[in-house]
C-alpha cells in the first residue's frame, strides 16, 4: 500500500541501463543526448570475458549465482545483497503451473523424509525436520490456492572498483586482488546463502545477468513460493531501526530510529552535520534530537547565535549564558584549559602526553586568539607579545611543569596583568631602542581595549567565573553579534570551544568516577555566522573537536543554512570538507538548486551525492531530510517528534 511506481523512459531509462555496466559516469550526459545516441552511450566499448571475471572497458566484475538459500527467511531477506553499493542483482523467476508445483513439492518431501529416516545425526535430523515443516507449509498454501510457486535464479555482479583502479594505474599492492569478491561471499554466507563463483562459466553468467528472459542455468532454478519472492524487497533500503535509537521520524511510513552512539564497521563516530535553507526544518529536527538526548541525561552545550534555544533551556531547567556580557560568568583567555588528546585510541600514555603539552598548546591558542582580536599587529609585534605572555606566566610560577589541576581561577593572569607587564617593559627596558619602544606603544594601545577601563574590558578582563552544573547550557551570542563586531564574536566562540575542552574531560572523569555512560553533546548552530574567510580558525576548531570528541563519549552537531560560506575559498572548502568527512551523520534538508554545486563539492569524498539524490534534496518539502548514516545507507526521512517530545521545545 502506498507504493509509488514510475515507468522509466527516455533519458531515465538510458541511465538505468547504463548502470548495468558500472556506476562511474555522469547521469546528466543522458539528458544532453538524442534517443539515437542512447545505445552508443550505454554500451561499453569493449567487453572481455575471462575464466573468473568479466571486464567492461576498465571495470572488472565478478559474477555469482546463488545455489543455496536459508530454509527460513524474514521480510527483506535480500536487502543486504541488494543494498550493497556496487552490486548488481538480477532475479529471474518463472511461475510453475499449480499441479506441477504440488507434484514437485511432493517429490521433495519424499526425498527429505527418506533422508530423515536414514540418518542418526541429531543436528542433521533437526535441519531436515525444519525443511520438511517449511515445505509442508508451502504445500498447504498451494493446495489452498493462496500461493504460487516460482522457479528462481539469483545472479550477482560485483563491480570491483579497487581492483580495476589497480590494474588501470599499474600500481602493485600486497593487498589480495580478490578481497572485494571474498567480502561479498562472506556477507552472503553470514546471511545463510551459498554461491557459485562461475569459474569457466563467465559467458553464461554474463548472459544471464542481462535484462532479458534468458537464463543459462534454467535447469538449476530453486523453487520459491510467491510470499517469499515478494518478501525479498529488492526495491527498498533497509529501514533505519537501530537498537536503542532515538525516534527521528518516518521513511515511507516506517518509523526511523537512529542510535548516534552505535559503533561498528560502518558507524565510527557520533558527529552530525545538519544542512538546509531557512525554514526547511533544521531547528525542529535538532531540538527533537536534543530533547531526547537530554531525557537520557546527556550533557549538552549549544552555541546559539540567534536566541533559538533559550526557551528550550528554560523548559529543561538548563542555563543560558549571554556571552556578550560577563553577567552570567566570564571566560578568561589566560585561564589554561587541559588539552584534549589528538590520539583517537583510548591510550593513557597519549593522555599523559597531552597534559604535559597543555602549557605550550595554550600559548599556541593565545597566538591564534591575538590574531583574531588584534588583526593589525605586525609579525614583529606578535612575536614580542608572545614573548611577553610567556614571561607573564613564568613570573607567576606557571610553566609546562605546572599541575594545572591544583590551580584556581584566581591564580591565572588577566588582561590587566598583561597590560601592566607591557607598560613596565616600556618604562624600564629598551630605553634607547625607539623601534622596540614603538612596538610596545602599539601593544599598549591594542591591549588597553581589553584591560580595566577599555571598551571591551567587561568581557574578558578578570578571572574565569563561568560554572555549568546544569546538563543543558546555552551560550547566547545574539547580543554580541547584534553589535556587528564579528571579530569579538569569533574570538568569544574560540574561547567557548576551548573552554568546552575542559568540560569534555570533566564529563569523562564523571563517567569513570561513577561508572556512568553520560554522553556529552556540543552544538554549533548557524555555524556559517562564525566563519571568516580571511581568518578561518573557527573551522579548524570545529574539525579538531569533531576528530577528538569521539573518544570522550561525545558528539558534535554543526548546523548551517548557508553552504556558500563553507566553500567561499579553496581553504574554506578544504576545511569544511574535512568536517563533513569527520561526521558520521548528515541531515540534508531542502536546498535551492543553486546550492547543489557547493553541496556536491563538500560531499565528493563522503559517499558523494548522485543526481537522483540531488533531485530529492531540491524537491523535498519542509520537514523532510535526506539522511546519511554511512556511505551505503541513505534515505529520505519525514522528521517527526515523538509524543511528549515536541512539548519540551515548544513550550512558552
SS3 386: helix
Give residues with Cβ within 8 angstroms of 198, minimum separation 6. Answer: 52, 63, 64, 65, 204, 205
Helical ranges in 157-281 per DSSP H: 161-169, 179-190, 202-208, 226-230
Long-range contacts of 364-370 (CB under 8 A, 24+ apart): 365/494, 365/498, 366/333, 366/334, 368/494, 368/537, 369/333, 369/491, 369/494, 369/495
Question: What is the tens place of the pLDDT at every residue in 267-323?
Answer: 999 999 999 999 999 999 999 999 999 999 999 999 999 999 988 998 899 999 998
Q: Which position has the grid cell 537522483? A: 612
Residues belonging to the chain: 652
Give residues with Cβ within 8 angstroms of 499, minimum separation 6. Answer: 331, 337, 464, 466
Short-list 413, 408, 498, CA closest to 451: 413
Short-list 192, 227, 155, 222, CA closest to 71: 192
Q: How many CB atoms lie within 10 A of CB 66?
A: 20
Output the 3-class SS for 312-353: HHHHCCCEEEECCCCCCCCCCCCCCCCCCCCCCCCCHHHHHH
Question: What is the tens place of the pLDDT at every residue in 76-86?
Answer: 788 878 878 78
Average pLDDT, rounded, for the chain: 88
Beta-sheet pairing, 624-630 with 520-524 = unpaired
Domain with CATH 3.40.50.300 in the chain: 270-329+466-584+643-651
Short-list 256, 273, 167, CA closest to 576: 273
Q: Is the dihedral of CA 367, 372, 373, 378 positive or negative?
A: positive
Question: What is the tens place of the pLDDT at every residue in 517-536?
Answer: 999 999 999 998 888 777 67
User: Three cell numbers at 107?
Assistant: 517429490
CATH topology of domain 270-329+466-584+643-651: Rossmann fold (3.40.50)
- Say whether pLDDT at 32 is over 90: yes
Quick check: 92 and 208 in contact, CB under 8 A? yes
User: Distance between alpha carbon 69 and the CA centroid of its chain, in Å?
Assistant: 34
Quick check: 391 and 363 in contact, CB under 8 A? no
Question: What is the tens place of the pLDDT at every residue in 536-554?
Answer: 777 888 888 888 898 888 9
User: Distance between alpha carbon 474 and the CA centroid of its chain, in Å?
Assistant: 24
Quick check: 128 and 119 in contact, CB under 8 A? yes
CATH topology of domain 332-465: Helicase, Ruva Protein; domain 3 (1.10.8)
Short-list 228, 261, 229, CA closest to 242: 261
Give residues with Cβ within 8 angstroms of 11, minimum separation 6. Answer: 30, 31, 33, 38
Beta-sheet pairing, 319-322 with 554-560 = unpaired
Between CA 295 and CA 287 the distance in angstroms is: 12
What does the pLDDT read at residue 73?
Answer: 81
Query: Please, which residues bridge with residue 155 across strands?
Result: 65, 90
Long-range contacts of 159-167 (CB under 8 A, 24+ apart): 159/22, 159/23, 159/59, 159/61, 159/86, 159/87, 159/88, 160/53, 160/59, 160/60, 160/61, 160/62, 160/86, 161/24, 161/59, 161/86, 163/60, 164/58, 164/59, 164/60, 167/58, 167/60
The Cα angle at residue 77 between residues 71 and 82, in degrees rounded to 5: 135
Question: What is the tens place of the pLDDT at every residue in 134-172?
Answer: 888 888 877 776 678 999 999 999 999 889 988 888 776
Mean pLDDT along residues 126-138: 86
Between CA 340 and CA 548 the distance in angstroms is: 7
Burial 520-535 (b: 16+ CB within 10 A, else e): bbbbbbbbbbbbbeee
Between CA 156 and CA 91 the distance in angstroms is: 9
**Candidate from 29-43, 477-491, 568-582 with smallest mean pLDDT:** 477-491
Counting Cα atoms < 13 Å in the Cβ hemisphere of 525 gives: 24
Quick check: 323 and 464 in contact, CB under 8 A? no
Domain with CATH 1.10.8.730 in the chain: 332-465
Helical ranges in 191-225 per DSSP H: 202-208
Question: What is the tens place of the pLDDT at every residue in 434-470?
Answer: 888 899 999 999 999 999 999 889 899 999 999 889 9
Q: Which position has the grid cell 527467511? A: 73
Between CA 600 and CA 619 the distance in angstroms is: 16
- Say whether pLDDT at 1 is over 50: no
What does the pLDDT read at residue 320?
Answer: 93
What does the pLDDT read at residue 570?
Answer: 85
Sheet holding 624-630, edge to edge: 254-258, 246-251, 633-639, 624-630, 585-588, 272-275, 554-560, 520-524, 299-304, 472-476, 319-322
- Say whether pLDDT at 584 is over 50: yes
Question: What is the tens place of the pLDDT at every residue in 402-445?
Answer: 988 899 999 999 999 999 999 999 888 765 788 888 999 999 99
Amino acid at each position: 500500500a502506498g507504493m509509488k511506481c514510475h515507468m522509466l523512459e527516455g533519458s531515465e531509462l538510458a541511465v538505468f541501463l547504463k548502470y548495468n555496466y558500472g556506476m562511474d559516469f555522469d547521469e546528466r550526459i543522458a539528458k544532453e543526448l538524442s534517443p539515437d545516441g542512447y545505445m552508443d552511450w550505454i554500451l561499453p566499448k569493449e567487453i572481455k570475458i575471462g575464466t573468473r571475471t568479466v571486464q567492461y572497458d576498465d571495470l572488472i566484475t565478478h559474477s555469482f549465482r546463488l545455489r543455496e538459500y536459508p530454509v527460513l527467511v524474514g521480510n527483506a531477506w535480500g536487502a543486504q545483497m541488494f543494498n550493497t553499493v556496487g552490486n548488481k542483482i538480477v532475479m529471474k523467476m518463472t511461475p510453475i503451473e499449480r499441479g506441477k508445483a504440488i507434484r514437485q513439492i511432493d517429490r521433495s518431501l519424499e526425498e527429505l523424509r527418506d533422508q530423515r529416516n536414514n540418518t542418526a545425526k541429531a543436528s542433521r535430523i533437526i535441519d531436515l525436520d525444519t525443511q520438511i515443516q517449511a515445505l509442508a507449509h508451502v504445500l498447504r498454501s498451494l493446495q489452498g490456492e493462496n500461493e504460487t510457486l516460482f522457479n528462481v535464479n539469483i545472479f550477482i555482479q560485483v563491480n570491483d572498483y579497487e581492483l580495476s583502479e589497480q590494474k588501470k594505474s599499474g600500481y602493485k599492492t600486497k593487498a589480495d586482488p580478490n578481497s572485494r569478491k571474498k567480502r561479498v561471499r562472506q556477507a552472503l554466507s553470514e546471511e545463510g546463502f551459498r554461491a557459485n563463483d562461475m569459474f569457466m562459466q563467465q559467458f553464461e553468467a554474463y548472459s544471464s545477468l542481462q535484462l532479458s528472459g534468458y537464463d543459462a542455468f534454467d535447469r538449476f532454478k530453486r523453487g520459491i513460493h510467491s510470499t517469499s519472492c515478494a518478501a525479498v524487497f529488492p526495491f527498498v533500503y533497509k529501514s533505519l531501526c537501530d537498537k536503542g535509537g532515538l525516534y527521528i521520524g518516518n521513511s515511507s511510513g516506517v518509523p526511523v530510529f537512529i542510535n548516534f552512539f552505535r559503533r561498528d564497521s560502518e558507524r565510527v563516530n557520533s558527529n552530525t552535520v545538519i544542512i538546509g535553507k531557512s525554514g526547511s526544518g533544521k531547528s525542529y529536527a535538532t531540538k527533537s534530537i536534543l530533547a531526547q538526548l537530554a531525557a537520557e541525561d546527556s550533557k549538552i552545550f549549544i552555541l546559539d547565535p540567534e536566541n533559538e534555544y533559550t526557551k528550550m533551556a528554560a523548559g529543561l531547567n538548563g542555563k543560558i549564558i549571554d556571552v556578550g556580557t560577563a553577567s552570567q560568568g566570564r571566560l578568561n583567555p589566560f585561564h589554561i584549559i587541559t588539552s584534549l588528546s589528538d590520539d583517537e585510541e583510548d591510550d593513557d600514555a597519549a593522555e599523559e602526553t597531552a597534559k604535559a603539552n597543555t602549557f605550550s598548546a595554550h600559548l599556541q591558542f593565545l597566538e591564534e586568539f591575538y590574531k583574531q582580536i588584534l588583526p593589525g599587529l605586525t609579525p614583529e609585534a606578535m612575536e614580542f607579545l608572545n614573548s611577553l605572555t610567556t614571561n607573564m606566566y613564568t613570573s607567576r610560577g606557571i610553566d609546562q611543569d605546572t599541575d594545572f589541576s591544583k590551580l584556581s581561577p584566581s591564580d591565572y593572569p588577566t588582561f590587566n596583568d598583561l597590560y601592566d607587564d607591557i607598560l613596565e617593559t616600556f618604562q624600564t627596558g629598551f630605553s634607547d631602542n625607539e623601534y622596540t619602544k614603538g612596538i610596545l606603544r602599539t601593544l599598549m594601545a591594542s591591549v588597553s581595549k581589553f584591560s580595566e577601563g577599555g571598551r571591551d574590558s567587561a568581557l574578558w578582563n578578570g578571572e574565569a567565573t563561568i560554572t555549568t552544573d546544569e546538563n543543558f547550557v546555552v551560550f547566547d551570542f545574539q547580543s554580541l553579534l547584534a553589535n556587528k563586531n564579528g571579530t569579538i564574536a569569533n574570538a568569544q566562540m574560540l574561547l567557548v570551544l576551548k573552554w568546552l575542552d575542559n568540560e569534555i574531560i570533566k564529563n569523562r572523569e564523571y563517567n569513570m568516577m561513577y561508572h556512568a555512560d553520560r554522553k556529552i553533546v556540543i552544538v554549533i548552530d548557524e555555524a556559517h555566522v562564525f566563519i571568516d574567510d580571511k581568518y578561518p580558525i573557527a573551522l579548524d576548531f570545529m574539525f579538531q573537536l569533531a576528530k577528538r570528541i569521539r573518544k570522550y563519549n561525545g558528539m558534535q552537531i554543526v548546523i548551517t543554512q548557508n553552504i556558500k560560506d563553507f566553500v567561499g575559498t579553496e581553504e574554506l572548502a578544504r576545511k569544511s570538507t574535512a568536517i563533513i568527512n569527520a561526521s558520521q551523520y548528515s541531515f540534508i534538508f531542502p536546498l535551492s538548486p543553486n546550492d547543489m554545486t557547493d553541496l556536491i563539492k563538500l560531499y565528493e569524498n563522503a559517499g558523494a551525492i548522485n543526481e537522483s539524490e540531488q533531485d530529492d534534496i531540491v524537491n523535498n518539502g519542509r520537514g523532510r531530510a535526506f539522511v546519511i548514516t554511512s556511505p551505503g545507507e541513505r534515505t529520505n526521512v519525514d522528521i517527526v517528534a515523538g509524543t511528549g517530545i515536541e512539548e519540551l521545545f515548544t513550550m512558552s
